[in-house]
Chain A
Amino acid sequence: MLAYRTGDADAFTTLYSRYRGSLYRYLTQHCGNAALAEELYQDVWIKVVNARTDYEPLARFSTWIFRIAHNRLIDHYRKHAPQLAASFAPQATDDDPDALDDLIDSLPAPLHETPHALLERRTTAERISLALADLPPAQREVFLLAEEGGLTLEEIAAATETGRETTKSRLRYALGKLRHSLQDLL
């Protein structure tokens, strides 16, 4: 990123190729909509490009870019689904079963409800996506940041502006639910 800031376009290409897949999957799995994910994905990279002059390597680049993606998602949800955006708030009570059910109910329509998705559901990948989509957004996000971004608990906590223990709890719940959903595939 520092090289790109000084005018090295190739440095950006290297950076892009390193994070393109993980960032794209993070957004796709998070919002469950390929078109929307593409739009958000492009927005995130444009933000990266525009922020190059102010970039300071205070943390890992992955932490920085996934934080941008996280904020972009929140902006999107605030605009289009305010109740969903509230679920990203640090105060979200993940441990409360009723609250979790409410959050699941508020999720956007899963892909398996569309005819095209019904076909794809037969594949394992769709099963996984479904399982992820079934997760509360906060838990899904923590899981995706850990898997796609390779972030530690501290980095996830910093990116999502939550406490470390909250993050840990969310990740534990996410893994437990995914294991339960994908038990037959493990």
Chain B
Amino acid sequence: MSELLQDSPRDPQVSRLYREFSTAEPSAALDQRVLAAARTALADRSKSVRSQGWWQRWRTPLALTTTLALSLTLALLHERQPGPVPVERAVDRQLPDVRRDAPGTKAVEQAKPELPAAPAAAPAAATVAIPAAAPANSQPETKARVARPSLAVGEHDARAGSQVAAEQASPVVADYQARSAAPAAAPAVAPAEAKRESLPASPAAKSKGGVAGAVDEARLDNAVTPTPAMRESAAALGKLRAEVPRSPAAWLEEIRALMREGKAEEAARQLREFRRTHPDYPLPEEFRQ
């Protein structure tokens, strides 16, 4: 740069002389005219902006805001839109209808107050409800299969579910379930199976010493005595259990039930299988020994 400046022809004496005597300046009037023109130009601009009106001034930000809001709404709707109906939801939805429709279920409800009739009514519920569920719903085969065990032990779901829910409330378990989507896919079915497992094994003696009067659900369950039909349905349920994925909590509940029933060998086998299937699942204290 300095080379370029040095390259430029210069004559300091001529420059000094020129600057010393060339002092002409525009008149004040000319200055005023120019400055007034500049201010007028600015005033015209602001006036034109003001005269644009509300719509012209705000249409761009308004359009942008609307577009943004629409996009956000669509994105949220798309996110919340249900995909394929999960198995447990299908079960939940089918359950009340099937209960209402199935004659076997009605029989159970009617039999509740009459304790002696319970042993007969309960197997009926177990056997009749299964075929009743299929025609009642036009769901795919898998959903129907899932629905059957739930129907059979529908009355036990709430209690088993509450136990499982307590277990699932643990942060470690919740974390595990968040990581493993598959076991969590059937939380409603698995508790039902847990109770189903204990159903045929319930001591019938309790029902013999049953008290007349108000009978709660537990007594009704205990009143069930294993019959050939019930064994058959239990076998079918066992088959179904193998097909339907169980949640870890429900599985543990099953193992617990086996231990309570004194089936230590079966419980140990189930526990080994459980450990193989869910190696990361935190085991409750009772299973660690």
Residues of chain A at the chain B interface (Cβ within 8 Å)? 4, 7, 9, 12-13, 16, 20-21, 24-25, 28-29, 34, 38, 41-42, 45-46, 49-50, 52, 123-125, 127-129, 146-147, 152-154, 168, 171-172, 175, 178-179, 182, 185-186
Contacts and interface: CB of A to CB of B under 8 A. Distances in A.
B46 A7 contact: yes
A125 B8 contact: no
Contacts of A127: 21
Contact of A41 (B23, B30, B46): B30
A152 B22 contact: no
A114 B154 CA distance: 121
Interface of B: 4-5, 7-11, 13-15, 17-19, 21-27, 30-31, 33-35, 37-39, 41-42, 45-46
Contacts of B38: 4, 9, 12-13, 16, 45, 49
B11 A179 contact: yes
A9 B37 CA distance: 11
**A contacts with B: majority SS:** helix
Contacts, number: 98
Report the 9 A-B pairs with minimum CB-CB distance, sorted nearest first. Answer: A172-B9, A125-B21, A175-B11, A45-B34, A24-B26, A12-B38, A186-B13, A124-B21, A171-B9
Nearest to B40: A49
A160 to B, nearest CB: 15
B17 A147 contact: no
Given A45-B34, A172-B9, A9 B18 contact: no
B5 A152 contact: yes
B9 A42 contact: no
A9 B44 CA distance: 13
A175 B21 CA distance: 16
